Amino acid sequence: MRHLLSTVGLARDEALGILDLAEDMAEVATRAVPKLPTLRGRTVANLFFEDSTRTRLSFEAAAKRLSADVITFSAKGSSVSKGESLKDTAQTIAAMGIDAVVLRHSASGAAEVLAGSGWIDAAVVNAGDGTHQHPTQGLLDAYTLRKTLHGDASRGRDLDGVRVAIVGDILHSRVARSNVWLLTTLGAEVTLVAPRTLLPTGVDAWPVRVGTDLDAAIAEAPDAVMMLRVQQERMHAAFFPHEREYANEWGLDDARLARLAADTIVMHPGPMNRGLEISARAADSPRSVILDQVTNGVSIRMAVLYLVLSGSDPREVAE
């Protein structure tokens, strides 16, 4: 794998290979010294043009567990504030000697531009671009679903027939887009639930069911409910009348939590707006796998960094 830019077009066998490799990486984390020498001598540059905590730290932890050197760039306080472009920033850091770039950017398509530009000769991993894609988030969500449903027997399993309701701000969510394509490739049945104002144009052509009634979606007893953050920083107009109305109609509150089937999984990519899209009780409930998503993110990113930087047989990695 040269780059990871999107879950669109990611083949089923390729996706399962990444998930299985992440299982090996998760086993490494249980060792007394949770590190592999696999990427010793390689350098990973984390270029974050958007604020991030968990994704940046997750990629840093993943690279360091593979013994790679890590350079982290944040746009705040950098030459970007003086007008430096993505091209100039990437080429400046590439001149220091890097093997892979992990890129987060507010512009949809920025990762594809960098990968296809010829500006640098390094692998590119998309860590979230605008409202477009966040492929490692989709992969870690699929991994978490598979692990929660199948436990130690999850290796090699797909998500055939698993029913997932993705709820909330679909319009601005790269997480939703990555999950729609990846989960359906793996056989899951995805339902999107949102106010009509937060559904993107063309959603009817996606391989999903679409609804606006969260209570109706809960009544169908999905295997998992994935709540999305309301991305107010991307909203330059009124998409719903009031936060209270949004919470009443589309929030996973305590009453809806009580109506979920006993084995329904609660997910959220974070960061959470508690009391808006999810209640504190739902976020902290035994059904919640939100912290598992964070843990599994490191394993998925170890697998992805390994694949883009080595391309060796995944089965050799954790031996």
Q: Is residue 316 part of a domain?
A: no
Task: Specify whether 266 is located in the same domain as 298.
Answer: no
Is 301 marked active-site? no
DSSP assignment of 58-112 = HHHHHHHHTT-EEEEEESTTSGGGGT--HHHHHHHHHTTT-SEEEEEESSTTHHH
Write out the residue range of the structural domain in which residue 283 sits.
135-290
- Would you state the structure tokens that stand for residue 217, as one six-digit string? 């979606």
Q: Is residue 94 part of a domain?
A: yes
- Would you state the structure tokens that stand for residue 297, as one six-digit string? 């993110």
Is 274 marked active-site? no
The answer to whether residue 254 scores a pLDDT higher than 80 is yes
Return binding residues for carbamoyl phosphate.
54-55, 104, 134, 137, 270-271
Q: Is residue 318 part of a domain?
A: no
Task: Specify whether 172 is located in the same domain as 262.
Answer: yes
Query: Of these residues, 38, 43, 55, 144, which one is catalytic?
Result: 55
Q: Is residue 209 part of a domain?
A: yes
More confident residue, 318 or 102: 102
Task: Specify whether 49 is located in the same domain as 128.
Answer: yes
Task: Specify whether 22 is located in the same domain as 167.
Answer: no
Query: Of these residues, 65, 104, 172, 256, which one is catalytic?
Result: 104
Read off the pLDDT of each residue in 256-280 and give the average, rounded to a whole number. 96
Q: Is residue 315 part of a domain?
A: no
The number of distinct structural domains making up the chain is 2
Task: Specify whether 217 is located in the same domain as 251.
Answer: yes
Q: Which residues pair with 4 in a beta bridge?
A: 125
Q: Is residue 317 part of a domain?
A: no
d(CA 259, CA 155): 31
pTM: 0.93
Q: Is residue 255 part of a domain?
A: yes
Query: Of these residues, 76, 82, 196, 236, which one is catalytic?
Result: 82
Asked if 158 and 187 count as a contact pair (C-beta separation under 8 A), the reply is: yes
Q: What is the CATH number of the domain that holds 251?
A: 3.40.50.1370
Task: Specify whether 49 is located in the same domain as 77.
Answer: yes
What's the pLDDT tens digit per position in 149-184? 999 999 999 999 999 999 999 999 999 999 999 999
The answer to whether residue 52 scores a pLDDT higher than 60 is yes
Is 55 marked active-site? yes
Task: Specify whether 193 is located in the same domain as 236.
Answer: yes
Q: Is residue 271 part of a domain?
A: yes
Task: Specify whether 128 is located in the same domain as 85.
Answer: yes
pLDDT bracket for residue 77 (50, 70, 90): low
Is 54 marked active-site? yes
Burial class (CB in 10 A: 0-12, 13-18, 19+), 2: exposed
Task: Specify whether 215 is located in the same domain as 274.
Answer: yes
- Would you state the structure tokens that stand for residue 82, as one six-digit string? 């003086």
Query: Of these residues, 42, 105, 134, 146, which one is catalytic?
Result: 134
Task: Specify whether 147 is located in the same domain as 125.
Answer: no
Task: Specify whether 27 is located in the same domain as 63.
Answer: yes
